[in-house]
Structure 1
Amino acid sequence: MKKITDSFVSVGHRPSAGSFEFNTDILATNPINLSVVLGVLIFFGKGVLNDLLDKRKQSILSTIRNSEGLHRGAIEQLERARVQLRKVEIEADEYRTNGYSEIEREKVNLINSTCNSLKRLEDYKNETIFFEQQRAINQVRQKVLQQALRKALVTLNSFLNSNELHLRTINANIGILGSVEERTY
């Protein structure tokens, strides 16, 4: 303790009784001043510092609780999204499977429809050919008949002239009328 009190007294000077002097030796007085300032700060600043640290601690704890809540919410959303993704994947697989089945069904239906259309076209073609054959045959028959009639008329005309034909027709009709009259009597 003597060293501390000696540090207040200046080196090389003797204090006289009842006098007061400042020690100008910085190296000797600085640790004492710092210890006094620190003591005052610790004594009076302890409460303020504790309040600041408590507020900061509460703020950090609140932020951690909020972060944990957000983390739990994010995990729940992630799980819901995973469940939804599984459902969508299952539905996509069903659509894919059903789509392939539907495509196969449509392919078979299209093939059957095309075969039926081809069969109808073949039948229509055969009917058209048959109809055209019948029409050609009828045209040939008509031409043959017309030619036969012309030839018969030419032949008749060459054997008979018009007057002779009239007389024969009249005689044939008289003969028919005579046979009809005999039957009525």
Structure 2
Amino acid sequence: MMFPVTLFAAEGGFGINLNPLETNLINLVIVIGLLVYFLKGLLGGILERRRESILKELNDAESRLTKATSDLSKAQADLDSAKDKAEKIRADGKVRAEAIRSDGEKRTIEAMAALKQDALADLTAEGARLTEQLRREAALAAIDKVLADLPGRLDDAAQARLIDASINNLEDA
């Protein structure tokens, strides 16, 4: 029993055969059904393993992202801390440099004052020494003049009075 449907009346034309036994439609349905049944487990396992692998990689990527984010936050905190320390060190350095400069200026002023004081003391001492030397020289000059004039002014009576006065001065002392 053949029910070919002919679309074209001409020989060798195109037609559709609706007989399931002649078209092996039943065999194809059985083979496709078996393939789906057996391949379902195989393909399902492969797809399940692939899905698990992808989920594991996503979870790993997510944990690495979380760790990287945490590390970045820590690194930024460390950077901020390092910046704060650097700023503090720089400020401390400025303060210390200013203190050293002030101390150097103070020492220089003190050294200059000490030098001025020493120079003034040396000048005063030199002035006193020169004054004393001039007094001695003046006294020696006066004594030399008196000794030169004394023999002409001193007679025997004046000489006796001078000797008596000197003796009295020695006794009182």
Report the TM-score, using the length of structure 2 for normalisation. 0.55
Q: Which residue of structure 1 lines up, in the alignment, with residue 48 of structure 2?
A: 54
Aligned to 1:68: 62
Deviates further, 39-48 or 79-88: 39-48
**Unaligned residue ranges in structure 1 (runs of 5+):** 5-31, 161-167, 177-185
Matched, 1:116 2:107: no
The separation in 1 between residues aligned to 2:139 and 2:52, in whole angstroms, is 124
The number of residue pairs the alignment matches comes to: 136
Shift of residue 65, structure 1, vs aligned partner: 0.7
Aligned equivalents of 1:114, 1:93: Cα separation in 2: 31
Distance of 1:118 and 1:41 partners within structure 2: 110
Q: 1:3 to 1:126 in 2, by over 3 A?
A: same
RMSD: 4.0
The alignment status of 1:84 with 2:78, answered yes or no, reads yes
Q: How far did residue 98 of structure 1 move?
A: 4.1
Show structure 2 runs of 5+ residues with no match. 1-19, 165-173
Distance 1:3 1:60 in 2: 44
Q: How far off is 1:66 after superposition? A: 1.3
Question: Is the helix fraction higher in 1 or 2?
Answer: 1
- 2:8 is aligned to none
TM-score, normalised on structure 1? 0.52
Residue 136 of structure 1 is matched in structure 2 by 130
| Cα distance in 2, alignment partners of residues 3 and 56 from structure 1 | 39
